[in-house]
Amino acid sequence: MSAAAFKARYAAYTLDLVLLSPFIAAAAWRPLQVAHAAWRGMEGAMQLALDRAFGAGHIALLDLAGALKADAAFMAAMTQGMEALLAALFSAGLWAWLVVAAYFVGFEASTWRATPGKRALGLRVLASDGGKAGLPRVLLRFLAAGPSWLLLHLGHALVMFRDDHRAGHDLAAGTRVDGDAVIPAWARAWLGLQVAAVAALLGWVAWTAMQAVMVLGL
């Protein structure tokens, strides 16, 4: 088992995500603004519908729900708002995906044969025979990585169990990553910082949950 290979790739990947974050935010900013406006519009429609229902004497929960369902203006506003919200979120996701695709495919198909994160770790994406992977293979590698995410990183975890350190998307695309034997000290510190951040987040969640339980218990 080679945990070092997995750690090296994970360190490179998370570094790339940090570098990508502002570009993803810029690409998704406008659609997310539209999504926020749609959500606020639905909140406003809900408040107006509640005011009309309360004004008509619909106070009981079931009676109130029936009044809202019978409110044609409210139902139309919610339908239009939800359609706009979903369309905006899809657009934001699509733009973000295109930015990520351009980054990974562009850099790994370039003369660098690596993203900035991989290059910092001394990693290169090669064809399985050691030659240049080329654009078609690199693109297939990027697309094949999707199922690994959906399968809880099982495809990525193959790196730890194969002597050639090839992940599932490497096997699918006929590629391999070269140079993942040594992790620099700064990369180990970067991984340690992430572990500390996750531990702090989990500690905060646990503390918040405990406080909520105590308050409810009182």
**pLDDT confidence tier of residue 151, bands split at 50, 70 and 90:** low
**pLDDT confidence tier of residue 154, bands split at 50, 70 and 90:** low
Q: What is the mean pLDDT of residues 55-64?
A: 74
Cβ-count burial 17-56 (b if 16+ within 10 Å, e if not): eeebeeebeebbeebbebbeebbebbeebeeebbeebeee
Same domain, 80 and 123: yes
Q: Name residues whose C-beta falls within 8 Å of residue 155's C-beta, 6 or more positions apart in sequence.
A: 144, 145, 147, 148, 167, 168, 169
Same domain, 172 and 217: no
Mean pLDDT of the chain: 87
Alpha helices (H) in 121-184, listed in sequence order: 134-150, 154-157, 168-173
pLDDT: is 71 or 98 the higher one?
Answer: 98
Same domain, 125 and 42: yes
pLDDT at 113 over 60: yes
Same domain, 149 and 121: yes
Same domain, 117 and 41: yes
CB 92 within 8 A of CB 31: yes
Same domain, 174 and 193: no
Same domain, 35 and 83: yes
Query: What is the residue range of 96's domain?
Result: 3-183
Same domain, 154 and 198: no
SS3 175: strand
SS3 121: coil
Same domain, 84 and 174: yes
d(CA 6, CA 168): 13
Same domain, 160 and 113: yes
Task: Please report the pLDDT score of residue 1 as a whole number.
Answer: 45
Same domain, 120 and 205: no
Q: Name residues whose C-beta falls within 8 Å of residue 15's C-beta, 6 or more positions apart in sequence.
A: 116, 117, 120, 121, 190
Total structural domains in the chain? 2
Same domain, 136 and 202: no
Structure tokens, 171: 């096997």
